Amino acid sequence: MNILIPALAIKKSGGTTRLLRNFLSAIGRIDKENKYIVCVNKDYKLNIEDEKIKVLSFYIKSNLHRFYWDQFEMRKLVKELKIDLILSLLNFGCINPSVKQLNFQAGPTP
């Protein structure tokens, strides 16, 4: 299965950085079957040494540009890379995607 992880919202440091790095580290150890494609902002350097995890960098100028990317460019990428699942760890992802999508929402429980 090809799994896309859009992570364009990540900045240079902070909780989201730790969340993504910890998730990818765990996936590298436990998932031997699936392939992961992680999309990051060009300003964020993510070095992963795992053949199952590929990192793609995109230049995102603003929050509005990121919204555009999430809704239109991601759809093109899903088709081009034959993605089976969008796993959105850090944001809301795509509205009405053409494939299944899981949205992870971190935060305090009510």
User: Which residues of the chain carry a pLDDT beneath 50?
Assistant: none
Helix (H) or strand (E) holding 39: strand 35-41
Quick check: is 37 in a domain? yes
User: Residue 24's domain spans which residues?
Assistant: 2-103
Please tell me the pTM assigned to this model: 0.87
- How much is the pLDDT for 98? 86
Cα distance between residue 62 and residue 35, in whole Å: 29
Quick check: is 95 in a domain? yes
Alpha carbon 85 to its chain centroid, in Å, reads 11
In the chain, how many domains are there?
1
- How much is the pLDDT for 20? 87
Q: What share of the chain has pLDDT > 90, as a percent?
A: 45
Quick check: is 109 in a domain? no
Phi, psi of 50 (to 5 degrees): -145, 125
- How much is the pLDDT for 38? 94
**CATH number (domain holding residue 80):** 3.40.50
- Report whether 101 contacts 85 (CB < 8 A): yes
Read off the pLDDT of residues 60-91 as tens digits, 9 standing for 90 and up: 988 899 899 999 999 999 999 999 999 988 76
Quick check: is 99 in a domain? yes
- Report whether 36 contacts 27 (CB < 8 A): yes
